[in-house]
Structure 1
Amino acid sequence: MPRFPRILVTTVLSLVAGFDVQAATQQGSNAVVEEFFWYGCPHCGRLEPKLDTMLAARGGTVRVVRVPVARTMISRAHQRMYFALKQLGAEQRVHVAIREAITSGNTLLLTESAQATFLSARGVDPAAYRAAYESADVSHACEVADSEASAHGITAIPALVIRAQVVDPATVVSQARAKGKDLTGEDEVLGAMVSNVSAQLSDVQ
């Protein structure tokens, strides 16, 4: 899949995801971290609080763009759900509920109808949701997200991208071993990912 120009990527993410790209890029792309994730990935869910804590400590000088990865029919449905909710300005308040419902096995939210029913119980208007889900803007945002994942060679999640560098579990495990250290356990690996990104942002004021 050809890579979309960066201006298109930021424009579509701004339009559909409700992300203030101009504010986030005042210091250039160095001030933006891309987080590649899937609602059904429990590791992604455990990474996010660590990432959010690091970003909060920087007082808003660094922003994160979540990019939902679609590798299967299931994750494709979830990718559309993410962008539809972003378009409605509702994703942030239901993000954790969706992730917990899917990772717990209570529901897979595979269809637009199942998603609308689940979200309706959490204050999202089902008619507005269906319109957003089927919209051309959401389809375009999914294409851009796919292009970003392809361009960065994302093969595993969670993954973070900062200054065109991919930081994923394999990256930090390899870096640690090169220094004669073994990372033991998920918590240590996820912490190392966030520390790696934080170090690359040390010059961002």
Structure 2
Amino acid sequence: MLKNWILALSLLALAPVAAWAEDWQEGKHYDLITPPLRTVDGDKVEVTEFFWYGCGHCYNFEPMVTQWKKSLADDVAFVGSPAVWNKPMELHAKAYYTAEVLGVLDTMHTVLFQAMNVDRKRLQSDKEIKALFTANGVAAEDFDKAYSSFGVGSQVRQANSRARAAKITGTPEMMVNGKYRISTRKAGSQANMLKIAEYLIAQERAAGAE
């Protein structure tokens, strides 16, 4: 009798977890990417955020993502990937990778979002972007060297290829381990995007442990 009671309690405890897992359905809440994209580090579950500095939805999503990233386990790698659909967006992607190369991404990521969404700057020229960097303590010569480097140009091209291969149609969108694409439209909300990402991370972690 005691064994049956313990078993019943165990099943009740597991029921909410099972229900939660079944809530997120492929094709309904997120999409499978075929063929899957190669990840940078095969030893970790990789989460990619596709964004654009001029996107108001991305601007609103960013504080949520920043907080969420702090909770990620050591076996999860987070990758930012700027969307590149036109020439101005290419400049903004260059700004992102320039900040990364110079080690000022934590500062400039916020500054670039603020400039486009709050200060209403369009940042459609190299000169405007350079002025933003130098106003935030980056030496002009350091900016020029990084911004025009082959490495930054290469990363912009890779970001463009990544978004196209993942069939990204808007921002913000997320990708988990190169296999799954999460959009706000299908997820239902930005908060749900993060919940689905957590679900898929757990799924990929379990698959890797088999």
Find the counterpart in structure 1 of residue 192 from structure 2. 192
Structure 2 residue 146 is the aligned partner of structure 1 residue 146 = no
Q: Give the residue type in structure 1 aligned to 2:201.
A: L
Q: Distance in 2 between matches of 1:106 and 1:153?
A: 29
Q: Distance in 1 between matches of 2:93 and 2:46?
A: 21
Find the counterpart in structure 2 of residue 156 from structure 1. 170
Q: Which runs of 5+ in 2 are unaligned?
A: 1-34
Find the counterpart in structure 1 of residue 99 from structure 2. 85
**C-alpha displacement of 1:51:** 2.5
TM-score (norm 1): 0.75
Aligned CA RMSD, in angstroms, stands at: 2.1
Partner of residue 55 from structure 2, selected from 21, 41, 47: 41
Structure with the greater alpha carbon radius of gyration: 2
Q: Distance in 2 between matches of 1:106 and 1:42?
A: 11
Contact 2:173 2:181 in 1 (8 A): yes
How does 1:110-121 map onto structure 2 within 5 Å?
Answer: 110-121=124-135
Q: Which runs of 5+ in 1 are unaligned?
A: 11-20, 174-188
**C-alpha displacement of 1:147:** 0.7
**C-alpha displacement of 1:58:** 3.1
Contact 1:55 1:63 in 2 (8 A): no
Find the counterpart in structure 1 of residue 187 from structure 2. 172
TM-score (norm 2): 0.73
Q: Distance in 2 between matches of 1:75 and 1:190?
A: 22
Structure with the larger RCO, 1 or 2 (CA within 8 Å, 6+ apart): 2
Q: Distance in 2 between matches of 1:54 and 1:165?
A: 19
Find the counterpart in structure 1 of residue 43 from structure 2. 26
Specify the SS of the correspondent of 1:122.
Answer: coil
Q: Once superposed, which parts of structure 1, at least 4 consecutive aligned residues long, lie more than 6 Å away?
A: none
1:40-77 Cα offsets, whole Å, 9 max, x none, are: 11211222222333332234432210001111222111
